[in-house]
Amino acid sequence: MANALRDKIAGGGLVTLMAAHNPLSARLAEEAGFDGIWASGFELSAAYGLPDASLLSFTQHLDMTRAIIEQVTVPLVADLDTGYGNAINVGHVVGAYARAGSAAVVIEDKTFPKDTSLLPGARQELVRVAEFQGKIEAACEAGAGHDLLVIARTEALIADLGAPPMPRLAPTSSSFIRSRGRRTRSSPLPSAGPARFRSSSCRPPIPT
């Protein structure tokens, strides 16, 4: 599945992913013609009646993700929030999702536990860039044997820190860099800048 997602993205066209929180919603998304499934941390938390604040356990999240993968034929991207801790935690967690059949994982640069990006006035604290680089490197190493794509997600805009520090993330071996912000008609997200990274810019339009 990872190769299928990689090939779609490499083709240069638009790749559409739909958020899902269980096998039924994922199958509906597949039948609707989406290219893949986004196993949204926000939606999975909501399905358990919990806020998007790192309350869902790793096992709960993985079990539901595995159940979704078993019921669809399109690639799945697992939204892992902050990766459940430091680089050591990330390596353990990402390895499990790779073995479960995920095509890609997303790791964001917030502190653990996190507050959802959608909550006005919430705590939006980011880890040091060097720490985030270490977490992304750990994710890439854990998924290397499974051709897993790794998406590095920065919340710099959400945290009102200005343009995301994408050039500072460039030394990592992430497959993509996702810039997350509050998009409006008058203030679009800034460009990722010159394409001098090994990474590409990834901006899913769905709230996660």
Residues noted as catalytic: 52
Crossing angle of the two packed helices 23-31 and 58-69, in degrees rounded to 10: 40
Three-state helix/strand/coil letters over the chain: CHHHHHHHHHCCCCCCEEEECCHHHHHHHHHCCCCEEEECHHHHHHHCCCCCCCCCCHHHHHHHHHHHHCCCCCCEEEECCCCCCCHHHHHHHHHHHHHHCCCEEEEECECCCCCCCCCCCCCCCECCHHHHHHHHHHHHHHHHHHCCEEEEEECCCCCCCCCCCHHHHCCCCCCEEEECCCCCCCCCCCCCCCCCCCCEECCCCCCC
